[in-house]
Amino acid sequence: MPDVLVLVDHDGERVHKSTYELLAAARRLGDPAAVVVGTPGTAARLKESLARHGATSVYVAESDEAGEFLATPAVDVLELAVRDACPAAVLVSATTDGREVAGRLAVRLDAGLLIDAVDLDSSGVVTQIVFGGAYTVRSEVTHGTPVIALRPGAVEPEEHPVAAMVRELVVPSVDPATSARITDRRASPAGDRPALTEAAVVVSGGRGVGGAEGFTVVEELADALGGAVGASRAAVDAGYYPHRFQVGQTGKTVSPQLYIALGISGAIQHLAGMQTSRTIVAVNKDAEAPVFGLADYGVVGDLFAVAPQLTEEVTARRAAP
């Protein structure tokens, strides 16, 4: 079977969950081949977990420059890997960085590009959410090697242990004049909650939370469920919660097993970032709020009355023998 290249999303020490999802999707088209772009020693730390999730090959492209520039090293390496392997497709995660890499790679390869895919079948036909979530379409690349950006959370990761063969690639020298160099790094405050795009449960608050202090009820419910905290654009713009937690068309796209919207009216901008969640629960005072048109379960009521009761019930059930 042909290789399917998967760009590994990692932090240098661990593989992000979205990569395991890509490997599961890649198996529908051929043999998953993980492409690791990083500083020296990165691939050795990641190889075992990649093989455990089905990577039959691991392309290793390591250099000091790989951690100094945005997007360019990954695009360069993927272009080399495509020329070397003639893969059935290239899969990347539809994150901000992933979309950048996918677009640039497709231009270099003169190939078709499919962004924000939420499903992929064995024939290469992709299901996409387009126009801010207004339509669901099925698309297929008819020219060149398909470059597909898959939305995090769209495919269930699964372990599929194999023996991975290592293949070395030389990272081309980056031209600083045409590339964006990383001049500084600032770590976000660490916490015990899962990453927003990788969480199985997301609890988000909107304008209805009323202020930064109101997000306490959102955080308490998220913690009771072992989930992540999100926020609508309205809440972020009002200064209730940091921008890095924004869910929506101009924020992060999530597809958890459970999404709980507290005090979120349901503007299309927000719905575009969470509508592929498996189960959606909405709590809002306004019975006519657009979010109820998408929700699987809706509660018309005060979130400050409903959310604490739900938190208490979840906590009690988890504590029960």
DSSP state of 46: H
pLDDT at 139 over 80: yes
Q: How confident is the model at residue 82 (pLDDT cuts 50, 70, 90)?
A: very high
Supply the pLDDT for residue 137.
94
Domain of residue 286, residue span: 201-319
Does residue 140 sit in the same domain as residue 289?
no
The Cα–Cα gap between 294 and 280 comes to: 8
Alpha-carbon span 264 to 267, nearest angstrom:
8
Our count of domains for the chain comes to 2
Q: How far is CA 264 from CA 47, 232, 234, 260, in A?
A: 41, 7, 9, 10
How many of the other CB atoms lie within 10 Å of CB of 316?
10
- Separation CA 128–CA 137 (nearest Å): 5
The pLDDT tens digits of the residues spanning 195-210 come to 898 899 999 999 999 9
User: How far, in Å, CA of 64 to CA of 48, rounded?
Assistant: 22
Which CATH number fits the domain that encloses residue 90? Answer: 3.40.50.620
Cβ-contact 113, 147 below 8 angstroms: yes
CATH number for 237:
3.40.50.1220
- Residues at the binding site are 207, 232-233, 246-250, 263-270, 284
Considering the domain architecture, whether residues 213 and 73 belong to the same structural domain is answered as no
Is 125 domain-assigned? Answer: yes
Per residue in 171-186, pLDDT (tens digit) is: 888 888 778 888 777 7
Q: Give a yes or no: residue 130 inside a domain.
A: yes
Residue 224 DSSP SS3: helix
Residue with tokens 């492209």: 61
Q: Are residues 213 and 154 in the same domain?
A: no
Give the residue from 163, 178, 193 where a domain finishes: 178
Task: Clarify whether residues 156 and 260 are in a common domain.
Answer: no
Q: Are residues 20 and 142 in the same domain?
A: yes
* 212 and 294 housed in the same domain: yes
CB 230 within 8 A of CB 321: no
DSSP 170: P
> Does any domain span residue 45?
yes
State whether 70 and 132 are in the same domain: yes
Q: CA end-to-end span of the chain, whole Å?
A: 49
Whole-number Å distance between alpha carbons of 57 and 37: 14
The three-point CA angle 202-205-209 to 5° equals: 155
Q: Looking at the structure, do residues 161 and 213 belong to the same domain, yes or no?
A: no
> Is 198 within 8 Å of 16 (Cβ atoms)?
yes
**Chain centroid offset of residue 89 CA:** 19
Tell me, yes or no, whether 221 and 152 share the same domain. Answer: no
pTM beyond cutoff 0.75:
yes
CB neighbours of residue 160 within 10 Å: 16
Considering the domain boundaries, does residue 112 fall inside one? yes
Q: Confidence class of residue 56 from pLDDT cuts 50, 70 and 90?
A: very high
Binding-site annotation, residues for FAD: 207, 232-233, 246-250, 263-270, 284
**Packed helices 303-319 and 215-225: angle between N→C axes, nearest 10 degrees:** 20
pLDDT of residue 46: 97
What pLDDT does residue 190 have?
56
Do residues 122 and 8 share a domain?
Answer: yes
Domain presence at residue 207: yes
Q: Which amino acid is at 232?
A: S
| pLDDT at residue 198, as a whole number | 87
33 shares its domain with 173: yes
Q: Name the token pair of 92.
A: 């990347």
Give domain status of residue 33, yes or no: yes
